[in-house]
Amino acid sequence: MKKFGVFLFIFLSGLLTVWAKEDLTPNSPSAILIETSTGEVLYEKNSDERRAPASMTKIMSMLLVMEKIDEGKLQFSDNVLISKNAASMGGSQIFLQEGESYQVGELLKGIAVASANDAVVALAEKVGGSVDGFVTMMNEKAKELGLTNTHFKNPHGLDEDDHYSSARDMSIMGKELLKHEKILEFTSIYEDYLKKPDGSSTWLVNTNRLVRFYNGVDGLKTGFTKNASYCVTTTAKRNDMRLLSVVMGAKTSDDRSSDTTSLLNYGFNSYQVKKILDQGSVVGSIFVERGKEEQIDVIVPRDIRILESSMQNDKTYHYEVFLDSLKAPKKASEKVGEIMVKDEEGSIVLQDDVVLAKDANLASLWDVFVRMFKITLTGN
What amino acid positions are annotated as catalytic residues?
55, 58, 115
Q: Do the beta carbons of residue 40 and residue 132 sit within 8 Å?
A: no
According to DSSP, the β-strands at 282-287 and 335-342 are unpaired
H-only helix segments in the chain:
2-21, 58-70, 84-87, 104-114, 117-128, 131-144, 167-177, 184-187, 210-213, 253-270, 365-378
Q: How far apart are CA 339 and CA 322, in angstroms?
A: 6
380 to each of 226, 277, 286, 290, 371, how far by Cα in Å? 77, 35, 19, 17, 10
Query: Can you tell me the distance from the alpha carbon of 248 to that of 273, in angstroms, rounded to the nearest whole number?
Result: 27
Q: How far apart are the first and last CA of the chain?
A: 62
Separation of alpha carbons 156 and 160, rounded Å: 11
Radius of gyration over alpha carbons of the chain, in Å?
25
Q: Which residues contact 197 (CB under 8 A, 6 or more apart)?
A: 100, 101
d(CA 107, CA 204): 12
Do residues 122 and 83 lie in contact, with contact meaning Cβ atoms separated by under 8 Å? yes
Per DSSP, the three-state class of 354 is strand
Give the pairing type, strands 241-250 and 229-238.
Answer: antiparallel
Which of 345, 267, 338 lies closest to 307 in space, CA to CA?
A: 267
Phi, psi of 55 (to 5 degrees): -75, -5
Q: Are the CB atoms for 175 and 34 separated by under 8 Å? A: yes
Total Cβ atoms within 10 A of residue 362: 14
